[in-house]
Structure 1
Amino acid sequence: MTSYSFLRAAFSVIFAVTYVFANDTLSFPQGFLLGTATSAYQIEGGWNINGKGESVWDRWTHDNPNLILDHSNGDVACDSYHKYKEDVQLLKDMEVDFYRFSVSWTRILPTGYPNVINQDGINYYKNLINELLANNIEPFITLYHWDHPEYLDKMGGWTNSLMVEWISNYARVVFKELGPKVKYFTTINEPADVCQGVATDKVAPGKNLGSPGKYLCMHNILKAHAKIYHIYQTEFRKQQKGQVGIVISCPGAFPKTPNDTAAVDAIFQFVCGWVAHPIFSKTGDYPEIIKAHIADNSKLDGYPASLLPTFSPKWVQYIKGSADFFGLNHYTSKLVETVPRVEGERWYDYSGVKQTIDPSWPKSAADWLRVVPDGLRQVINLISKQYDRPPIFVMENGFADECCTSDSSRISYLRSYMKAMLSAIYEDGCNVKSYTAWSLLDNFEWADGYKVRFGLVNVDFTNPNRTRTPKLSMNWYKTVIKTRRIDSIFESPDVVNIP
């Protein structure tokens, strides 16, 4: 072999190895789980049949249709209560590893108390679980996705410390009835968003109690989460051998002024660490910056004590470590900037950080959602560094549009965010275990009603049959799941190929 031929062969080998390595970063690690998700109120319908009780979202949408963009509600929604087998076939067609769904508290316990258990509700979820398992799909249950019983809300809901016992008793029923066939549970979905319904009058239950209600709500939620975790740990884990986590919404944050790392750190603690720090940090309890800022603001506002309740040392230890994994919901990011504080005046928005949107970021149909894939990588890294690399399950990530099945923008969004997540795994060494596309179906999108769509599958809400039609994104995701790669090329000429 001539020296030229040898060099050419050597460079060919180097190029091939480099090409394979580079493209491996577009493949999912062995054992990585890919799935999709929904929540009970958003898809089930059947709001008052077969023994189901009234939830706060049932009451809210009926009493306040003017606060829903299209004046709609979840009375029928996708009618998944009757059409769950059809939904499972869509999941089977995609060959997902798992399906994340939530259980309706009032479908199982109509009044919220365990003295009246609705067997029809239990049977519905058992049938769904059996249908999933028969099709090799792992059920992933969320115990609470915002829809607690109206009956309990009349007694204070999340502002009543008894809610810790009420939801724990409900969880015990779910573990007993459904746990033998379920290996993954999450306790509470997006606690900060739950507490918005206490602080404001914009979403259910609309208590409009401001900051005092918001901080009390979170305090009780953290206790409730820990109590549920320990119930599973002591009463069910040995037999069922499952895992229990919590789902926290953590947006990305990028400094408006270069090197303003203080703003990024502060907003992470106020938005994500508020929930995560008591559970996942080595010290437990709320982040110090939150305790300090809220104490300062409370004093300046004339309150006799901080609006942030205090955990006893016993509760700090009880909550700390009460999760087997970190459930992460992530959609978008914000620009952040530190607002200088004048001595004797309040911290700006308690955090001392102003949040805005970069107008150059691509839009979606939801005002709050801009496309910023690097935000997912950033958040995964922050969680990993702050909390010693916990297992991270990405539980929601999705794109909003207004219609149609030709949703190339959704494909582009999902692919770009998956790519950012894979960079966090391969380049940054983060411990991410799953990815969940939100959502399986177009559904009731809370205050946006049916105007904003997140589904991989289109639902015709004008048709009594709620006809389902797969979108291009479902076919793309199906190929991703089959090939375990995100650079998949479609054979079908009808499907947009994303480079």
Structure 2
Amino acid sequence: MADSEVSIGRCVPSKTFPKQFLLGTATSAYQVEGAWNDDGKLPSMWDEYFHNTGENKMHKYYLDMQIPLIEEYKARGVHPRLVDEYKGMAVYEVPSSKVIDPEYFNFNGDITADTYHKIDTDVKLLKELGVQAYRFSISIMRIIPKIHDHIPEQKGIDYYNKLIDKLIENNITPMGTLFYYDASSSINVFGGLLHPHIGTLFEGYVRLCFEKFGDRVKYWTTTPDLHLAAEGYGSEHHVPGFQEHQFSGFLDYIAIKNLLIASAKAYRIYNNEFKGKQQGEISIGINGTWYYPKDPNNPEHRKIAKLAHLSTFGMIMNLLAYGEYPAEVVEAVERNSKAEGFKTGRLPEFTEEEKALVIGSFDFIVLDYYSCIKVRPLTSEELKNEPNHKRKDRGYFMEFDDISPVEVYDGFLNCLKYTNEVLNKPKIFIGGNGYPEDEGVDKSAQKIAYHTGILNKLLEALDQNINVFGYCVWSFLDTLEFTFGYRKKFGIYSVDFDDELRPRSKKNSFSFFQQLFKTNKL
């Protein structure tokens, strides 16, 4: 719906979102709460990861746009290798950690933005911003620090009760995420997401959350971005940090299956035991990076771009829709297994019972989107030298250069169309979408342009009857962006991480978001 407003003597067209459309912002527990060992909370997987910075941890990695020293490293004879992507940013491997200053990686989540101690302050800021919804995640270690649900931690429950109550008092819809890349470090004793018992533990935990918070929280997400949450079981740059040359293409696939089954069980529990009384809805989160062929006129480039979709977010959607891996993914894994001489299969199979459990195990989809990537097929030499088996299965080389804003915005609409088609017109909520600013650099103009471009495409999707009912900006505050540390600033409010009081302040783009949230107009 379009109308117009008068601004500074001229007519400026504006576009209005539907009346019931939820506009808001988001964070996750580990990235903002701090208080890492307060009130009975025990160490999480990320606490252990950042507190133990040995040779096999993140010192092996630096990330593009975080350390602007690529050419300097090359001059020293250290050649980086592009290995992954995070929110549209490139992740590189450095062959030797010895040339990297370890002090550069001297960060963790012990304090972060300290939201654990600042509920009143932060809810007041959310109210000032004018949001209709706030997405947050619950730290499992605050609720059941000793893993099992029979020994809950009341102080952790009290914290989230206070947050939820404060949000509702200020007419802000609370949206809770049950698992966000983080669990107790103790679960690694029995294999973490690799062990089917994780589903049993998750059942007890989600029941506790529904019992304690479900009378007020009506929108739940079981887990975000499954293919990213499983990344650390075949990569050292994500928790728990398993070595890629030994475990990739094996354990990460198992983690995806177990986490998807745990999510499906949580959905069934809510629908069977809580929905009748609480009348809420359950979602699962999916990260939707769009992949373009580097050369759109080359059929092999087009083919590998399709495989890129199918082997990342498309795999999760296919499993939710049909209980099956995409045929192209199965073919790629089998082909590479044969080429490498593996005698056993690497994709864990789903039983008929598991397929029935997983298919349709959501009321709505939470879709995250940040950017797009151009891909080309790996050369035979690149395939030969690639130590990561899952990366061989995917078969593509990522390129982050020469991507236009138009391609980024179109990629977002493409992801919405893809989701709408594969999952047969589901309800969709945009759970996280943001633009990073570099430390000490004001990119407000670029940030506003980015969100304007994305939101215009969202309005196009609504015009095409794609059922999107809300949108959250990542993020409410500057956060710890995991192994990117504190140098990428997504927040609407900035946080001074050098000040022990962690003061917040409005960024120059604040008024853009405030106007959007308070008027529902772009």
> What CA distance in whole angstroms lies between the structure 2 residues aligned with 1:298 and 1:355?
22
Partner AA of 1:226 in structure 2: A
Q: Pick from 372, 380, 392: which aligns with 1:349?
A: 392
TM-score calculated relative to the size of structure 2: 0.83
Deviation at 1:24, TM superposition (A): 8.2
Q: Secondary structure at the match of 2:483?
A: helix
User: Comparing 134-143 with 245-254, which one deviates more in the overlay?
Assistant: 245-254
Question: Residues 240 and 348 from structure 1, CA distance in 2 versus in 1: closer, same or farther, beyond 3 angstroms?
Answer: closer
Equivalent-residue separation in structure 1 for 2:403 and 2:329 (angstroms): 31
C-alpha deviations, 1:51-72, integer Å up to 9, x for none?
1111001111111287275411
In 2, distance between residues paired with 1:382 and 1:257?
Answer: 21
**Is contact 1:53–1:109 with CA below 8 Å preserved after alignment?**
no
Cα shift at 1:295: 2.1
Measure how far apart 1:264 and its partner are: 3.3
Q: For each residue in 1:353-383, what CA deviation from the matched residue of structure 2 results, as whole angstroms up to 9, or x when unmatched?
A: 4332242547xxxxxxx98222101111111
Contact 2:41 2:141 in 1 (8 A): yes
Who is 2:143 aligned against?
108
Letter of the 1:410 counterpart? K
Select the residue among 133, 152, 158 that pairs with 2:193: 158
Q: Compute the displacement of 1:18 (Å).
A: 10
Q: Which moved more, 1:49-58 or 1:295-304?
A: 295-304
Alpha-carbon deviation of 1:207? 2.0
- Whether 1:192 aligns to 2:227 is yes
The correspondence for 2:364, drawn from 307, 311, 325, is 325
Matched, 1:140 2:175: yes
Call closer, same or farther: CA 1:95–1:289 in 2, change over 3 Å.
same
Q: Pairwise mapping of residues 422-441 of structure 1 onto structure 2 (< 5 A)?
A: 422-426=459-463, 428-441=464-477
Q: Matched residues, percent identical?
A: 32
Query: How many aligned residue pairs are there?
Result: 458
Asked whether 1:67 is paired with 2:58, we answer yes
Task: Give 2:256's aligned residue.
Answer: 218
Task: Give the one of 29, 41, 47 matched to 1:58.
Answer: 47
Question: Out of 247, 255, 280, which is 2:293 matched to?
Answer: 255
Partners of 2:410 and 2:457 within 8 A in 1:
yes
1:39 maps to 2:28? yes
Q: 2:403, 2:336 → 1: CA distance?
A: 34
> Are 2:459 and 1:470 aligned?
no
Question: For residue 183 of structure 1, what is the aligned residue in structure 2?
Answer: 218
Deviation at 1:84, TM superposition (A): 1.4
Q: CA deviation at 1:351?
A: 2.7
TM-score w.r.t. the length of structure 1 is 0.87
Q: Secondary structure at the match of 1:181?
A: coil
Greater percentage in strand: 2
| 1:359 maps to 2:402 | yes
* SS state at 1:310 partner: coil
Residue 263 of structure 1: CA displacement? 3.1
Identify the structure with bigger relative contact order (alpha carbons < 8 Å, sequence gap 6+).
2
**What residue identity is the alignment partner of 2:373?**
K
Q: Secondary structure at the match of 2:149?
A: coil
* CA distance in structure 1 between the partners assigned to 2:270 and 2:338 by the alignment: 40
* Alignment deviations for residues 163-204 of structure 1 (CA, whole Å, 9 cap, x no partner): 111122111111111111110000011111111111111222
Task: Say whether the 8 Å CA contact 2:437–2:443 is kept in structure 1.
Answer: no
Q: Which moved more, 1:293-302 or 1:381-390?
A: 293-302
Q: Measure how far apart 1:268 and its partner are.
A: 1.2
Partner of 2:78: none
1:17-47 deviations in whole A, cap 9, x for unaligned?
Answer: 9989xx9883212321101000000110111
Matches of residues 2-17 of structure 1 in structure 2 within 5 Å? none
SS in 1 for 2:376: strand
Residue of 417, 440, 447 corresponding to 1:410? 447
Alignment of 1:121 with 2:156, yes or no, is yes
Aligned pair 1:271/2:309, yes or no? no
**Distance in 1 between the 2:21 and 2:49 partners?**
39
CA distance in 2, matches of 1:25, 1:243: 32
2:3 and 2:15 in contact (8 A); partners too: no
In the alignment, structure 1 residue 421 sits paired with structure 2 residue 412: no
Q: What's the offset of the Cα at 1:86?
A: 0.8
Q: 1:287 aligns with which of 318, 326, 334?
A: 326
Instruction: Give the secondary structure class of the aligned counterpart of 1:354.
Output: strand
Q: Please state if 1:302 is matched with 2:345.
A: no
CA distance in 1: counterparts of 2:146 and 2:331, whole angstroms: 40
CA distance in 1, matches of 2:130, 2:510: 11
Q: Deviations over 1:250-306 (max 9, x none)?
A: 101222222544333221111112212111x2x322212112221222233222222
Where do 5+ consecutive residues of structure 1 fail to align?
1-16, 363-369, 487-499
Offset of residue 234 of structure 1: 0.7
Equivalent AA in structure 2 for residue 275 of structure 1? I
CA gap 1:382/1:134 in 2 versus in 1, 3 angstroms: same
Work out the CA distance in 2 between the residues paired with 1:193 and 1:376: 18
Tell me the amino acid that sits aligned with residue 247 of structure 1: G
Counterpart residue identity of residue 131, structure 1: K
- The alpha-carbon distance between structure 1 residues 471 and 149, as it changes in their structure 2 partners (threshold 3 A), is same
Aligned to 1:92: 127
- 1:314 corresponding residue in structure 2: 353
Structure 2's unaligned 5+ residue stretches are 6-11, 60-103
Q: Structure 1 residues 341, 431: CA separation in 2 closer, same or farther (over 3 Å shift)?
A: farther
How far, CA to CA, are the matches of 2:443 and 2:420 in structure 1? Answer: 36
* Partners of 1:25 and 1:423 within 8 A in 2: no
- Give 3-state SS (helix, strand or coil) of 2:222's partner: strand
